Structure 1
């Protein structure tokens, strides 16, 4: 490394595993079909990176139902690799981390641990520039359309879903997403009908089957949902059935959205080559961080596709703001206790602040929920 070209060096890395409890057990179609248990907590992996010049960056990844301890363990193995590196060399560091763990692959849990470090490096880079991350990336807008998911789960009775939907809209959220994929399709149709009638035709309404339909059922349900004017139908098929999704895209007027379960940029490229989505839904922590997310965005832009990143609005708001076409960001309030700051939501849109980087700091509650921590220093 040429010392003259090195701007700074990483001197300290701290990783923390936080168990975030959910107020109630969450059930979607995967629970009703017996494939998963209700979700009661989320494991969050934080990475904090410090440098010789006194700069710091905060990143995160997460796991639902399983994988949190494994992510933390893998991040613990990788953390020493960052020491001594120039934090501005984000692409070089990402490749170095990937090759350090080449035997465990280039997708899935291995890159989900890397994601926390990668996001922290981008946060640090934007802070050094004195810019919100969206501005560093080249923002197309200062706010992004947002929709709520947390009020539409299948465990909630329809009366509660309707109440939560009205509350979301009253608080400035722009659209509502409902979970479908109930073993009894009549239940899905009744719930969507009730919400559409209550909210009217002008409110953007999405549905999410969480991969629980086979191809025949998906065709039947997509056809049944056509009259509702849905903004999209999400994950009607198994996430890796790219050809099946492509057939739905070519058959129905309602847009098909998928991608959240994919765990690499390469898998997103396969999805797009197959024509398997009108709307792509990458998840930065799941695919390895912001660096691979930017590659997915570039591919989606080339294919003239819409973008609706999955979960973790604190990160995805900045990335969506830098996308050429008007995107959507998913609103979950679950992570609110982990941070001292709150995102501004009004008139159907989520706004990023003028704070540099991601604009978030860990709360005392996040530290209280910490179950494991590990630091390495140069």
Structure 2
């Protein structure tokens, strides 16, 4: 078969509005403002033979324009290249912008292009992405986060939990980290009583506790039988997370805010956590996620990728251990397709690639576009 070549690249900056301003512990403690939109970065890569791949990344609150600007600068590096050589192309892109680093915004801009290349490769093979990677399962356990934010009154949280269960979602995550710890304990107790002892329940503090508070509240939360306590400490307090994981009966989860494989490796080397929560768009895409997944498997860590279920479902399905995937309906308006959920599980689509096409609404949210051919 003759070698195909990349002939066209399109980059779109999209501002996705949220129906309700979102507040977690970082807002209640004054560190951030409520979130009103998600900045999306979309990439489409076309080849001379007529194949096309769709990829995306994102940023919350700030950083979207920076990701878009960097992607525009480096995207032409892909023109004329063989799209099969994804790992080599990732290296080429990261070195094209090496002066701004190999993590953070620089590699997050690469993520959309990297995901598009993997989507393209799977489509050329006629396989869902999970199958191309080597799936271990056809469906993945899923839990809902969007119904349990701190701005949501507890009565509404309980209604949201019921709606999630009726949809077939298999777990509920509740935000904690309120300035008044008694509020946290009261809300967790109410949700646990409502769900019953056997239903999977997680708690997420969004980095808002110091070490003494995390130990004290972690021990208080042990009695609720949580699946995990998420981000109890600053994301870069690797030693603190490791020490807390040893001190508590409840597993400790973290990793979503880290922006490279190297940062995750440092977390793992420190001895924690029990559950790793990488985010493929934040660490540079699928190419980097696969490296991290191999490292996590080597250390026998549980895996629960953060956000972007439309992408992470495929990656979680290819993990040897039994993973979780996070249900957020926020990105659904961007796509024509919906993921199938039943009995606590999210099913891997049988469509080639990611199995996604952009909805007509995306054009109205697009703030800038860039296209290059060669």
TM-score (norm 1): 0.98
Q: Does 1:114 align with 2:110?
A: yes
CA contact (8 A) 1:7 1:88 kept: no
Q: Residue 102 of structure 1 corresponds to which residue in structure 2?
A: 98
Q: Residue 202 of structure 2 corresponds to which residue in structure 1?
A: 206
Q: Does 1:51 align with 2:50?
A: no
Counterpart of 1:142 (choices 135, 138, 142) is: 138
Name the SS of the counterpart of 1:154 in structure 2.
coil
TM-score (norm 2): 0.99
Output the CA distance in 2 between the equivalents of 1:353 and 1:306: 23
Q: Residue 158 of structure 2 corresponds to which residue in structure 1?
A: 162
4+ runs deviating over 3 angstroms: none
Counterpart of 2:295 (choices 295, 299, 303) is: 299
Q: Residue 174 of structure 1 corresponds to which residue in structure 2?
A: 170
Output the CA distance in 2 between the equivalents of 1:98 and 1:299: 21
Q: CA deviation at 1:377?
A: 0.2
Q: Does 1:263 align with 2:259?
A: yes
Counterpart of 1:195 (choices 191, 194, 206) is: 191
Output the CA distance in 2 between the equivalents of 1:368 and 1:342: 20
Q: CA deviation at 1:352?
A: 1.3
Task: Report how many residues are paired.
Answer: 374
Q: Which runs of 5+ in 1 are unaligned?
A: none
Q: Which runs of 5+ in 2 are unaligned?
A: none
Q: CA deviation at 1:366?
A: 1.2
Q: Residue 234 of structure 1 corresponds to which residue in structure 2?
A: 230
Output the CA distance in 2 between the equivalents of 1:352 and 1:361: 16
Deviations for 1:241-297, whole angstroms, at most 9, x for unmatched residues?
000000011111100000000000111111111112100000000000000000110
Q: CA deviation at 1:165?
A: 0.5
Q: CA deviation at 1:26?
A: 0.2
Output the CA distance in 1 between the equivalents of 2:270 and 2:362: 41
Q: Residue 273 of structure 2 corresponds to which residue in structure 1?
A: 277
Which has the higher mean CA deviation after the structures are superposed, 361-370 or 225-234? Answer: 361-370
Counterpart of 1:248 (choices 244, 247, 255) is: 244
Q: CA deviation at 1:139?
A: 0.3
Output the CA distance in 2 between the equivalents of 1:245 and 1:167: 33
Q: Does 1:340 align with 2:336?
A: yes
Q: Does 1:18 align with 2:24?
A: no
Output the CA distance in 2 between the equivalents of 1:201 and 1:325: 24
Q: CA deviation at 1:177?
A: 0.1
Name the SS of the counterpart of 2:320 in structure 1.
coil
Q: CA deviation at 1:49?
A: 0.1
Output the CA distance in 1 between the equivalents of 2:272 and 2:205: 16
Output the CA distance in 2 between the equivalents of 1:244 and 1:199: 31
